[in-house]
Structure 1
């Protein structure tokens, strides 16, 4: 069995004395693991940085085997984030969430394209927190936990949407919330893709997406805790906002 694809590197861990096991989110084959012979060498190790885009060739005797990779670099994103701790935290959160959430060997081409765009945005613009919120929404949608933020679930109106129902994932207007407002999740403008002057609503947006990542996606995966990398990103953005 063998195939060739392009993909984003999600994780690396040492295997034996000289090799590494990598996880890659590929365009046509989904999340796939494999052994890279000599993966800890001075020649190959610098290529194997999370977020890097690679040309990978996978080979195994049987399809169910872990198999081995040969890799060629297509694009490194390390240099674009090393000088920005926030961007580095975002890159780490993206790759960690994908490794956490994606089923093995199941293609998600739309999410793959969205992820490549998101990783490029992180390295190119200061407004990446809003794009990151939209990426988490796309991840939830792709895996069956999408939110409906288009109309109020109570009144059917499209204006003044300021809350999200924690049960249904549907938007709720201020009028529709009534006495239930304190039981609802926030729906800041940034969660709708709007870039505000100071991105003040990003922490609230992350609280809302975090609820559905935890109580929807992670619950379906056996109530596993979300990756620490996401918690570090949320904490960093909250501290930047407070500062």
Structure 2
């Protein structure tokens, strides 16, 4: 068996970009090999069997070969059909893809995070409440990158106090308010940090948890704005417009 050829590896399409006249450059995330860059030759031709599979969020079986950093796609088939995310769920799914693209190196597998990614997409396809699960995914992502969060003790090693306030500093952890000096970080309660650690965030904690995770992820995402945040803004405005129109119709 040729070790440079991978056959029917489970994975997902993270990003696609046109390449030359009829081909495409793919970034995929695979279960056993992590992120992989692929050239899909002729994939955009009208009669290509791959043309209809160049959409994100569907579980695929992928085959590729080659010795360089950029491999050549040899096969792509649908593992199973799932209902794709829509509206804000779709924006959230694009956000998860952008997190993986910007933080995970090529050929660096993260099987635990991959399994959580699959669970995340499954949840988003059902259009259930997903904001808490996004925070847990972000937390696991930081841990996989080597920046795991200590959410149960402060920077001195003392157990957190639920009704105390802290500044969470990326390289130090939870600094009790009043001891920050020149250190900057998101202000949070001990109760919030413990809820995030135990993955039991309540609805009224979601806003603070989002601000905290955004602050902690910012150094790892680069300077370019996230496209998924623009999509989120668009879908949020559409949702408010529909609610407003429905209210006018009732009156």
**TM-score, normalising length from structure 1?**
0.79
- Aligned mate of 2:5, from 2, 7, 32: 2
**TM-score, normalising length from structure 2?**
0.77
Q: CA deviation at 1:131?
A: 0.3
> Does 1:59 find its partner at 2:65?
yes
The 8 Å contact of residues 34 and 110 in structure 2, kept in 1 or not, is answered as: yes
Q: Deviations over 1:125-164 (max 9, x none)?
A: 5221100110011111101122111123357124316544
Q: CA deviation at 1:15?
A: 1.3
**What's the RMSD between the two structures over aligned residues?**
3.2
The aligned residue for residue 157 of structure 1 is: 159
Deviates more, 1:118-127 or 1:100-109: 118-127
Q: 1:236 to 1:156 in 2, by over 3 A?
A: farther
Q: CA deviation at 1:106?
A: 1.2
The 8 Å contact of residues 89 and 229 in structure 1, kept in 2 or not, is answered as: yes
Distance, in Å, in 2 between the alignment partners of 1:7 and 1:239 is 32
The 8 Å contact of residues 152 and 170 in structure 1, kept in 2 or not, is answered as: yes
Unaligned runs of 5+ residues in structure 2 are: 244-251
Q: 1:23 to 1:47 in 2, by over 3 A?
A: same
- Aligned mate of 1:13, from 9, 12, 17: 17
Secondary structure of the 2:71 match is coil
Q: CA deviation at 1:92?
A: 0.4
Q: Deviations over 1:6-30 (max 9, x none)?
A: 1111001111222211111111111
1:1-243 paired onto structure 2 within 5 Å = 1-4=4-7, 5-42=9-46, 43-60=49-66, 62-77=67-82, 79-82=83-86, 85-124=87-126, 126-154=128-156, 156-160=158-162, 162-168=165-171, 170-171=173-174, 176-178=176-178, 180=180, 183-187=184-188, 188=192, 191-192=196-197, 193-196=199-202, 199-215=203-219, 217-218=220-221, 223-225=222-224, 227-230=226-229, 232-233=231-232
Distance, in Å, in 1 between the alignment partners of 2:38 and 2:64 is 7
Unaligned runs of 5+ residues in structure 1 are: none
Secondary structure of the 2:27 match is strand
Q: 1:240 to 1:29 in 2, by over 3 A?
A: same
